[in-house]
Amino acid sequence: MSSNKSFQLAAIQMVSGTSVDVNLARAGELVAEAAANGAGLILLPEYFCFMGRRDTDKLALRESPGSGPIQDFLSSTARRHGIWLLGGTLPLISEDADRIYNSMLVFNPDGQQIARYDKIHLFGFRKGDEAFDEAATIRPGANLAQVFEAPFGPTGLSVCYDLRFPELYRAMGNVNLIVMPAAFTYTTGSAHWEVLLRARAIENQCYVLASAQGGKHENGRRTWGHSMLVDPWGEIISCLPEGEGYVEGSIEQSRLDALRLSLPALGHRTM
C-alpha cells in the first residue's frame, strides 16, 4: 500500500447466544452491512458463533481444521462479499478429549483460509460470584506471534486475554495492524479494556481493531462491548459501547509513515 492509500476496516459487535444457527445468521447480516458500506477487512468477535450455558457446551461443536459448518460459513461469507474475514474464534479439535483450541481463522476474498491463531493466554478470574477458568475447557495454542500479510501490510493476530501480555505483540515485529476479538467481562472490561487497547497501539505504533461481545447473554454473562478502532497515536477513531452493530474506519498508510518518522520508537528498541 503506497503512502497515500487507505483501507477500510470494520469490527463486528455481537451479543451471541446458545444457537449456532442464529448466531451465524446474525453475523452474516452484520458482515453484509459492513461490507456494503465499504469495509474490505472485517473482524468478528470472540465466540461469535456460540456462547453456551456451560463452558463445556462448546466441546460438542468442535470442528476439524478445514471442515465444519462454522468454517464453511466464514469461507462462503468472505467469498460472497469479496472481503478479508477474520473469524473471531471458533472451537477446533485439540489433542485433549475434554478441551478445544479457541481459534481465530483468517479468510481471504477468495474464501481461502490463509492464517490460523490458537489463543495462547487463557483467562482465569475470581471475584465475588464471578469465576472463570478457560484452561478447564481450552488447550493453549503453541504458536506465538502469528502475522499475515493483508493488503495494507503485516497484521498481527491475538485474542481477548492476550491483550494483557505486551511481549506477545513485541514478538510480532513491526505490524501495521493488530486485531483483537474479545469477550471481556463487564468487570474487567470497564476497568482495563480501553487503556490496554490504546497502550498496545501506542507502544507498537500501529492501528488496533477490536471486536467485542457487548451485552447481556442468554447464559447470564454480561460482556463489556466497546468495540473500537484505535490509531497508532492512541486516538479512538470509532467505538460502539454496547449492543449489536459494528465500528468502522480506515487504516491510513500516511498516518503510519508520518508518526513513525517523527517518533521512531520502533527503531530505538534495544530488546
User: In three state form, how does the secondary structure of 114-152 look?
Assistant: EEEEECCCCCEEEECCEEEEHHHCECCCCCCCEEEEECC
Residue whose C-alpha cell is 481465530: 104
Residue whose C-alpha cell is 488447550: 139
Q: Is residue 139 exposed (0-12), middle (13-18) or buried (19+ Cβ within 10 Å)?
A: buried
Q: Which residues pair with 211 in a beta bridge?
A: 181
Q: Which of 63, 119, 206, 248 is catalytic?
A: 119
**160 noted as active-site residue:** yes
Question: Residue 215 CA to chain centroid, in angstroms?
Answer: 17
Establish how many alpha carbons lie within 13 A of residue 231's alpha carbon, considering only the half-sphere containing its beta carbon: 19
Q: Which of 46, 244, 248, 252 is catalytic?
A: 46
- C-alpha 119/C-alpha 135 separation (Å) is 11
**58 noted as active-site residue:** no
**46 noted as active-site residue:** yes
- C-alpha 40/C-alpha 200 separation (Å) is 23
Q: Which of 58, 134, 160, 242 is catalytic?
A: 160
Residue whose C-alpha cell is 478445514: 66
Cα–Cα nearest to 31, from 71, 64, 76, 91: 76
Q: Are 17 and 67 a contacting pair, CB within 8 Å?
A: no
Q: Which residues are catalytic?
A: 46, 119, 160
